[in-house]
Amino acid sequence: MNSSIVISTPPHIKSKRTTKKIMLDVLIALAPAAICGIVYFLLDALILEITCVAFAVLAEFVYFFIAKGGLNVRFANRDTRELAKKIRQLKKQGQPYNEEQKQLTALRAELRKQAFAKSGNVCKKWACQFDFTSVVTGLILALIISPATHWYEAAIGAVFAIVVVKMVFGGTGKNIANPAAVGRVFMMLSFTAMTTYTAAHFGAIDGGTVAAGATYLTGPLKDGNPDAMSLLDLFLGTGLAGCIGETCKLALIVGYLYLVIRRVIKWWQPVLYIGVAGLMSVALNGFDFTLFLPYILSGGLMFGGIFMMTDYVTSPKGLYAQIVYYAVGGILTAVLRQVTPIEVVSFVIVVMNLIVPLLDNFIRRRPFGYVKEKKNKEAEK
Amino acid sequence: MKAVKGSFFFGGVHIRDNKSLSKDASIERLPEPPEVKIAMSQSLGRPAVPCVSAGDKVAKGQLIARGDGAISSDVFASISGEVTGIETLANECGNTDTFVAIRGDGEGREQYLPPLSDPSPEEIVKRVRDAGIVGLGGAGFPTAVKLTPKMKVDTFIINGAECEPYLTRDYRIMKEHTDEVVRGARYMAKALGVENIMIGIELNKPDCIEAFEKYDDIKVVALRKIYPMGGEKQLIYSATKRKVKLGQLPADAGVIVNNAATCLAVCEAVELGKPDCEAILTVSGRSIARPANVCVPVGTPISYIVEQCGGEAEAPKKAVLGGPMTGVAVKSYDLYIKKTSSGVLLLTEKEAAADEPTACLNCGLCADNCPMHLMPMNTAFYSSAGDIDNAVKLGGTMYCIECGVCEYVCPAKRPLIQAIRNTKAAVRAREKGGK
């Protein structure tokens, strides 16, 4: 018998899965899209990705540091102040003050040591609780902005996403809307560069700026443009104007498969959202089923559906609430896309995130073997 | 009868079962310990009242304490020897309990009840009550009470799922005592007036499924290997597609469930007249030198069992009485085996998770995997804020079976079961205060 034995409530074994591992899985799933973005948009994409991730992590660290009292340290206290006063007086009187000076230096050194130790502890705490959520947010934000965005705009967006949307509400798991989506909405409303898109440097149409109109649909196809892009180009994102990570659908599908295999998301969640959005838009355009594929392959629909709608924190928990969430999100996307030329997926995600508490409240899960309360009352009578 | 597949229900989780540690060790009878201390509260309900005093000579199987009330059970001497005293000692739950201490004399005197041949239903119920048999699945509900339901029952299910990782007691019992288990089940079915006998066995015990397929009157249900398949409600649904409604007993759904080990105890009580004074349990975990399935007298100290199984191979992080998902972690080996003990596990640091809890990610994995379809994160969230009403309303806390799945899957390692138990205790305290 030894003292190393601990006691606790059951269960005494736990799964190996941790928040950190889940977030690393998401990062791995995002990697193909990030790499494709760099291949398609070259240096622009690389700079934006690095900026977003770096500023997101930095913003989280700074907020944590300040909130946990890393700055709340003192380099002077009553003793040092009194000693300093005494020294000043002695100086004035022209008396020797070496002894006091020595004492003061020692006291100050001690205080400084304590202050640094306190700040250091806060830093250590941050390193312990760091779970890659800010990296994921930063990378997602980088992948859903236009490559024409300036790096400082991206940095402001990342800081806004982390500080205002996530940390102010209490950090990991407490944010009420997807930080990256809100960050993007914020940037879209603030900076004009967000609404200009550069076509991919890779493929049919080289270079060139496509102004206003993010969705491919609102451009050539809807106006009956004969130069409509082929489905393959849409699928691979070659020559397509769009956000950094949203152009190459192949990379997104690879990420989707990885997430499903690792059981981070359920396979039907993005399928439901994207499918409902596609079908709804087909219905809105007079049941023209040739529109289905171009519709779901264009814009940020696929990226949003796979990586942002399925965000754990801001999606409902019960099965039926989830179905409603994805289906209503899909319908909303299709309807809004029909009436506005700007890219709506991030707006839809934010709106859906905000009604999640309502969904969770009103569409409650029924326990196994649930009996309707009315029936219970009858039985009592 | 040929095995049929069990029905599917949502929830539950696959856990590496680690049963291979003790799976091949047949049940061995350990040498009698020099002294046993038998707890008076062996089952649900009030503790039994001792009817012997210090200095009395007792034989194995002799009544030493009478049950107090309807759901309390009698307690019997488990070795022959002399009562050295009636003591108050700490039990594994952190409370104290009355214990009868018996020092063995090695004479091996036995005082069993008379064996019955071809008993009537009333005789069986009486014998089960007299032999002090309790449900050996863990809760320790007196079996005689189960055998006298107030409503009409048409199905008897033997619980052979043994979904808890590490434990192999039921597996060994079903494999070595197949015939006794079946006979015990037949006795109980006869007492209930039930024709339909089923046994639910998880698919990771194919040899047991095969063994029970030989009996024509037993319907074998092959269950998916998922935790908590052996939970009463889950087992009943898998085997019969009936849902036990919230707040009702299995008997309301026309089903009585009994553990395989209980069937064996009933068979021995009827045919040999042996009272419930021995426990079969699994000693396992990677910290024990020799994992085994052992049969020991009730009241054997855990330290004795650990010693007999070769002691500690490496320093354990956790010592658990029962299974790793629902068992009780204990701090000391100076505790004594009860009728309902199903295992002693010594888990190494690697096995016993002790990660610091991090912030709740709100991922909903606990709700996804909950076999009762509850929302554990709501319970944890609201109870941490002291809002018991919302915790119960939005979390469904009062329906929780405390299987431990939510905490097992939680990626943030939140103490969810602790929160659920606190909430339940708060609700009960309030109900008491209100009335």
| pLDDT classification of B171: cutoffs 50, 70, 90 | very high
Q: What are the boundaries of each domain within chain A? A: 19-69+129-362, 78-128
Average pLDDT, chain A: 83
Q: Tell me if A367 and B364 make a contact (CB, 8 A cut-off).
A: no
Contacts of A57 (CB under 8 A, 6+ apart): A134, A135, A138
Whole-structure pTM value: 0.86
Domain span at residue B391 reads: 365-434
Contacts of B8 (CB under 8 A, 6+ apart): B224, B238
At residue A197, the 3 state secondary structure works out as strand
Are residue B259 and residue B385 in the same domain, yes or no?
A: no
Find tokens 């997101």 and name the residue. A56
Determine contact, residues B330/B413, Cβ cutoff 8 Å. no
Mean local confidence (pLDDT), A211-217: 43
| pLDDT classification of A294: cutoffs 50, 70, 90 | confident
Are residue B265 and residue B388 in the same domain, yes or no?
A: no
Determine contact, residues B373/B423, Cβ cutoff 8 Å. no
Q: Does A318 touch chain B (CB under 8 A)?
A: yes
Point out the domain boundary residue: B249, B271, B293. B271
Nearest in space to B5 (alpha carbons), one of B253, B170, B203? B203
pLDDT for A195 equals 60
Strands B96-104 and B155-160, bridge-based pairing: unpaired
Point out the domain boundary residue: B237, B271, B305. B271
* Spacing of C-alpha A123 from chain mean position: 23
β-strand partners of B344: B283, B321
Q: Tell me if B246 and A15 make a contact (CB, 8 A cut-off).
A: no
Residues of B in contact with A366 (CB under 8 A): 373
Which string of b and e fits A26-62 if b means at least 16 CB within 10 Å?
A: bbebbebbbebbbebbeebbebbbebbbebbbbbbbb
Q: Tell me if B303 and A1 make a contact (CB, 8 A cut-off).
A: yes
Label each residue of chain B as H, E or C.
Answer: CCCEECCCCCCCECCCCCHHHCCCCCEEECCCCCEEEEECCCCCCCCCEECCCCCCEECECCEEEECCCCCCCCEECCCCEEEEEEEEEECCCCCEEEEEEEEECCCCCECCCCCCCCCCHHHHHHHHHHCCCECCCCCCCEHHHHCCCCCCCCEEEEEECCCCCCCCHHHHHHHHCHHHHHHHHHHHHHHHCCCEEEEEEECCCHHHHHHHHCCCCEEEEEECCCECCCCHHHHHHHHHCCCCCCCCCHHHHCEEEEEHHHHHHHHHHHHCCCCCCEEEEEEECCCECCCEEEEEECCCEHHHHHHHCCCECCCCCEEEECCCCCCEEECCCCCECCCCCCEEEEECCCCCCCCCCCCCCCCCHHHHHCCCCCCHHHHHHHHHCCCHHHHHHHHCHHHCCCCCHHHHHCCCCCCHHHHHHHHHHHHHHHHHHHC
Distance, CA of A26 to CA of A38 (rounded, Å): 18
Distance, CA of B149 to CA of A238 (rounded, Å): 72
Per-residue model confidence as pLDDT tens digits over B127-146:
998 888 888 877 778 888 88
Query: How many CB pairs below 8 Å do chains A and B form together?
Result: 163
The shortest C-alpha distance from B355 to chain A (Å) reads: 9
For residue A318, the chain B residue with the least C-alpha distance is B367
Percent of chain A residues topping a pLDDT of 70: 86
The shortest C-alpha distance from A126 to chain B (Å) reads: 12
Interface test with B, best of A7, A8, A13, A267 (most B CBs within 10 A): A13
Are residue B382 and residue B259 in the same domain, yes or no?
A: no
Q: Is there a domain that residue B166 lies in?
A: yes
For residue A362, the chain B residue with the least C-alpha distance is B394
Are residue B247 and residue B380 in the same domain, yes or no?
A: no
Instruction: Please tell me which of the candidates A7, A14, A21 has its beta carbon nearest to residue B407.
Output: A14
| pLDDT classification of B435: cutoffs 50, 70, 90 | low
Nearest in space to A179 (alpha carbons), one of A140, A211, A130? A140
Q: Is there a domain that residue B420 lies in?
A: yes
- Written as one string, the DSSP assignment of A198-259 is EBPSSSSS-S-EEES--STIIIIITTT-TTPPPHHHHHHTTT-B--TTTS-HHHHHHHHHHH
For B133, the token pair is: 């048999």
Residues of A in contact with B326 (CB under 8 A): 10-11
Q: Is there a domain that residue B202 lies in?
A: yes
Residues of A in contact with B424 (CB under 8 A): none
pLDDT for B433 equals 78
pLDDT for B362 equals 85
**Multiple choice CATH, A19-69+129-362, 1.10.3430, 3.40.1130, 1.10.3470, 3.30.1360:** 1.10.3430
pLDDT for B182 equals 93
Are residue B263 and residue B376 in the same domain, yes or no?
A: no
Determine contact, residues B78/B98, Cβ cutoff 8 Å. no
Instruction: Please tell me which of the candidates A7, A17, A129 has its beta carbon nearest to residue B330.
Output: A7
Q: Tell me if B329 and A8 make a contact (CB, 8 A cut-off).
A: yes
Are residue B263 and residue B380 in the same domain, yes or no?
A: no
Determine contact, residues A315/A309, Cβ cutoff 8 Å. yes
β-strand partners of B37: B101
The shortest C-alpha distance from A315 to chain B (Å) reads: 8
Instruction: Please tell me which of the candidates A1, A313, A366 has its beta carbon nearest to residue B373.
Output: A366
Strand B27-29's sheet: what is its strand order?
A: B27-29, B292-297, B278-284, B343-347, B318-321, B328-330
Are residue B257 and residue B377 in the same domain, yes or no?
A: no
Per-residue model confidence as pLDDT tens digits over A337-364:
888 777 788 899 999 999 998 998 888 8
Instruction: Please tell me which of the candidates A6, A18, A369 has its beta carbon nearest to residue B354.
Output: A6
Residues of A in contact with B367 (CB under 8 A): 317-318, 365
Determine contact, residues B6/B223, Cβ cutoff 8 Å. yes
Q: Does A7 touch chain B (CB under 8 A)?
A: yes
Contacts of A302 (CB under 8 A, 6+ apart): A246, A249, A252, A253, A270, A274, A296
Q: Tell me if B317 and A4 make a contact (CB, 8 A cut-off).
A: yes
Are residue B263 and residue B372 in the same domain, yes or no?
A: no
Q: Does A92 touch chain B (CB under 8 A)?
A: no
Instruction: Please tell me which of the candidates A13, A131, A315 has its beta carbon nearest to residue B358.
Output: A131
Instruction: Please tell me which of the candidates B333, B361, B373 has its beta carbon nearest to residue A367.
Output: B373
ipTM of the prediction: 0.84
Interface test with A, best of B233, B335, B393, B407 (most A CBs within 10 A): B407
Residues of A in contact with B319 (CB under 8 A): 5
Cα–Cα distances in angstroms (integers) from residue B62 to residues A20, A350, B29, in the given order: 58, 72, 20
* CATH at B172: 3.40.50.11540
The shortest C-alpha distance from A66 to chain B (Å) reads: 19
Tell me: pLDDT of A170 over 90. Answer: no
Instruction: Please tell me which of the candidates B243, B361, B375 has its beta carbon nearest to residue A173.
Output: B361
Instruction: Please tell me which of the candidates A12, A21, A368 has its beta carbon nearest to residue B233.
Output: A368
Residues of A in contact with B248 (CB under 8 A): 369
Determine contact, residues B399/B417, Cβ cutoff 8 Å. no
Q: How many domains does chain B have?
A: 2
Q: Tell me if B324 and A10 make a contact (CB, 8 A cut-off).
A: yes
For residue A129, the chain B residue with the least C-alpha distance is B358
Per-residue model confidence as pLDDT tens digits over B365-382:
999 899 988 999 989 989
Are residue B15 and residue B136 in the same domain, yes or no?
A: yes
Q: Does A171 touch chain B (CB under 8 A)?
A: yes
Q: Is there a domain that residue B50 lies in?
A: no
pLDDT for A161 equals 92
Mean local confidence (pLDDT), A148-158: 90
Q: Tell me if A18 and B413 make a contact (CB, 8 A cut-off).
A: yes
At residue A123, the 3 state secondary structure works out as helix
Tell me: pLDDT of A135 over 90. Answer: yes
Determine contact, residues A119/A61, Cβ cutoff 8 Å. no
Per-residue model confidence as pLDDT tens digits over A29-86:
999 999 988 888 888 889 999 999 999 999 999 999 999 888 888 888 888 888 888 8
Are residue B12 and residue B157 in the same domain, yes or no?
A: yes
Cα–Cα distances in angstroms (integers) from residue B35 to residues B164, B379, B380, in the given order: 30, 45, 44
Point out the domain boundary residue: B250, B271, B292. B271
Instruction: Please tell me which of the candidates A12, A19, A369 has its beta carbon nearest to residue B329.
Output: A12
Distance, CA of A112 to CA of A103 (rounded, Å): 14
Are residue B369 and residue B264 in the same domain, yes or no?
A: no
Positive or negative: CA dihedral B229, B422, B412, A357: positive
| Of the candidate ranges A125-134, B129-138, B208-217, the one whose mean pLDDT is the lowest | B129-138
Q: Tell me if A173 and B320 make a contact (CB, 8 A cut-off).
A: no
Q: Count CB atoms within 10 A of the CB of residue B120.
A: 11
Distance, CA of A55 to CA of A160 (rounded, Å): 10
pLDDT for A199 equals 56
Average pLDDT, chain B: 88
Q: Tell me if A367 and B233 make a contact (CB, 8 A cut-off).
A: no
Distance, CA of B170 to CA of B175 (rounded, Å): 8
Distance, CA of A141 to CA of A243 (rounded, Å): 10
At residue A196, the 3 state secondary structure works out as strand
Q: Tell me if B374 and A365 make a contact (CB, 8 A cut-off).
A: yes
Residues of B in contact with A131 (CB under 8 A): 358
pLDDT for A228 equals 55
Determine contact, residues B367/B375, Cβ cutoff 8 Å. yes
Q: Radius of gyration over alpha carbons of chain B, in Å?
A: 21
Q: Tell me if B329 and A6 make a contact (CB, 8 A cut-off).
A: yes
Distance, CA of B1 to CA of B214 (rounded, Å): 6
Residues of B in contact with A369 (CB under 8 A): 233, 243-246, 248
pLDDT for A81 equals 87
Q: One-letter amino acid identity for A344? A: V
Q: Tell me if A12 and B415 make a contact (CB, 8 A cut-off).
A: no
Q: Does A1 touch chain B (CB under 8 A)?
A: yes
At residue A260, the 3 state secondary structure works out as helix
Q: Tell me if A11 and B408 make a contact (CB, 8 A cut-off).
A: yes
Q: Tell me if B375 and A365 make a contact (CB, 8 A cut-off).
A: yes
Q: Tell me if A174 and B359 make a contact (CB, 8 A cut-off).
A: yes
Instruction: Please tell me which of the candidates B362, B374, B409 has its beta carbon nearest to residue A313.
Output: B362
Per-residue model confidence as pLDDT tens digits over B318-345:
889 988 998 888 888 888 998 888 899 9
Q: Is there a domain that residue B182 lies in?
A: yes
Tell me: pLDDT of B393 over 90. Answer: no
Q: Tell me if B408 and A15 make a contact (CB, 8 A cut-off).
A: yes
Q: Tell me if B329 and A171 make a contact (CB, 8 A cut-off).
A: no
Q: Does A13 touch chain B (CB under 8 A)?
A: yes
For A257, the token pair is: 């498969």
| Furthest C-alpha separation in chain B | 62
For residue B244, the chain A residue with the least C-alpha distance is A369
| Furthest C-alpha separation in chain A | 99
Interface test with B, best of A7, A8, A12, A319 (most B CBs within 10 A): A12
